[in-house]
């Protein structure tokens, strides 16, 4: 019983049993037929062809108008504003959601209940109502002042100069979204095995480090797919900012052009094409983010080997081959 560190890598390591002298005769079996697949393909391709044909031949689509306006300055600017609203509102929502999810897990009951109340309110009222409300804040509170309630005032400003239509739109979209994301983040945090937290605690890591370095990165695996979904949803929800009213986004731009030209259909196609393009780009992004956070679980791409150790392991395997029964194996 003197052996202590057993040599790793023995027992079917690479290159031990691979050398066969006779190449085997490969099986040639008749594959199973799948008539259902062929049938469904024919039906779907047929339907698509009919659709494309009708879209090309039906002159009411006015593809020439689509071509004229797809890169129109107003439209492209609208795309820019829509993207800007989506990104900034999402960032705001994610920051708030992480905060809310942590608050929900806190031992402090005040924080727990405030977070719960926030989610209750912003999830429980329509986004449209909230957007209109943010648009009206400057009417409701013409002046905002910071100070002690019923006490001295430190500074104040005119609401309309700070809560512009853009800010109102971002606040409306972001705060509403934060309530949904908070629930997604909470579910993600809860999905991480309790043992991970205990192992980190046992190593003497502090609460914040455990959250950011151990729990959250693993929760991201669960959080990213629905958050991607929410981002795509947000992209389209930005079309509601007219409620603020905010009048620079893609939907407003194409609607305005449609009203001017009396050609709603081609301009709807313009808008839809842009939304589809952005969604597709977001989906590609999501793929990479998912791959990143799936590492160690879903994404088991070849683990980088320590070169020196790999060399040593190969040397060991070779010496095992020379003397097939290593002392470790015979014990």
Q: What are the residues binding other proteins (CB under 8 A)?
A: 3-9, 193, 195-196, 198-207, 209, 213-214, 217-218, 293, 295-297, 300, 303-306, 309-310, 312-313
**Shortest reach from residue 202's CB to other proteins, in Å:** 4
Nearer residue to other proteins within complex by CB, 30 or 202: 202
Nearer residue to other proteins within complex by CB, 11 or 245: 11
Nearer residue to other proteins within complex by CB, 35 or 304: 304
**Shortest reach from residue 330's CB to other proteins, in Å:** 13
Q: How many CA atoms lie within 13 A of 69 on its CB side?
A: 29
Nearest to 184 by CA among 155, 221, 215: 221
Nearest to 173 by CA among 225, 229, 116, 128: 128
- Cα-based torsion angle of the residue sequence 294, 299, 302, 307 in order, rounded to the nearest 10 degrees: 10
Nearer residue to other proteins within complex by CB, 285 or 296: 296
**Shortest reach from residue 287's CB to other proteins, in Å:** 18
Peptide bond into 114 cis (omega under 30): no
> What is the residue-wise DSSP string for 285-315?
HHHHHHHHHTBTTTB---PPPPHHHHHHHHH
Q: Could you tell me which residues come within 8 angstroms of residue 266 by beta carbon, excluding any fewer than 6 positions away?
A: 61, 62, 63, 65, 66, 69
Q: Give SS3 for 163.
A: coil
**Shortest reach from residue 204's CB to other proteins, in Å:** 3
Nearer residue to other proteins within complex by CB, 42 or 203: 203
Tokens of 268: 């709807």
**Shortest reach from residue 18's CB to other proteins, in Å:** 19
Nearer residue to other proteins within complex by CB, 52 or 203: 203
**Shortest reach from residue 325's CB to other proteins, in Å:** 17
The dihedrals phi and psi of 29, each to the nearest 5 degrees, come to -100, 150
Nearer residue to other proteins within complex by CB, 18 or 331: 331
**Shortest reach from residue 285's CB to other proteins, in Å:** 20
* 109 CB neighbour count, 10 Å cutoff: 8
Decide: 254 and 319 in contact? Cβ < 8 Å. Answer: no
Helix pair 73-105, 165-191: axis angle to 10 deg: 40
Nearer residue to other proteins within complex by CB, 20 or 331: 331
**Shortest reach from residue 188's CB to other proteins, in Å:** 13
Rounded to a whole number, what is the distance in angstroms from the first to the last CA of the chain?
8
**Shortest reach from residue 319's CB to other proteins, in Å:** 14
Tokens of 169: 């739109």
Nearer residue to other proteins within complex by CB, 158 or 201: 201
Tokens of 247: 């009048």
CA distances from 107 to 12, 110, 115 (A): 50, 9, 13
């Amino acid at each position: 019983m003197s052996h202590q560190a057993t040599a790793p890598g023995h027992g079917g390591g690479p290159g031990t049993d691979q050398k066969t002298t006779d190449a085997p005769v490969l099986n040639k079996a008749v594959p199973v037929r799948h008539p259902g697949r062929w049938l469904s393909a024919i039906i779907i391709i047929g339907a698509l062809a009919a659709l494309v044909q009708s879209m090309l031949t039906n002159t009411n689509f006015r593809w020439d108008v689509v071509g004229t306006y797809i890169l129109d300055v107003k439209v492209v600017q609208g795309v820019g504003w829509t993207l800007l609203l989506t990104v900034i509102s999402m960032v705001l929502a994610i920051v708030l959601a992480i905060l809310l999810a942590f608050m929900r897990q806190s031992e402090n009951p005040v924080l727990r209940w405030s977070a719960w109340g926030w989610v209750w309110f912003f999830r429980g009222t329509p986004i449209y109502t909230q957007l209109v409300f943010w648009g009206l804040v400057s009417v409701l509170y013409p002046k905002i002042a910071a100070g002690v309630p019923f006490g001295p005032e430190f500074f104040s400003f005119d609401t309309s100069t700070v809560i512009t239509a853009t800010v109102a739109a971002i606040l409306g979209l972001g705060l509403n979204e934060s309530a949904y994301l908070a629930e997604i983040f909470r579910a993600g945090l809860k999905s991480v095995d309790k043992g991970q937290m205990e192992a980190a605690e046992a190593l003497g890591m502090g609460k914040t480090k455990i959250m950011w370095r151990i729990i959250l990165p693993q929760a991201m695996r669960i959080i990213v797919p629905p958050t991607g979904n929410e981002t795509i949803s947000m992209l389209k929800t930005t079309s509601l900012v007219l409620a603020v009213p905010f009048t620079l986004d893609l939907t407003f731009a194409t609607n305005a052009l449609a009203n001017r030209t009396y050609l709603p259909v081609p301009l709807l196609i313009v808008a839809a094409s842009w939304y589809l393009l952005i969604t597709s780009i977001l989906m590609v992004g999501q793929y990479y983010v998912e791959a990143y956070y799936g590492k160690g679980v879903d994404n088991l791409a070849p683990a980088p080997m320590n070169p020196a150790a790999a060399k040593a392991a190969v040397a060991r395997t070779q010496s095992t081959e020379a003397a097939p029964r290593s002392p470790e194996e015979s014990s």
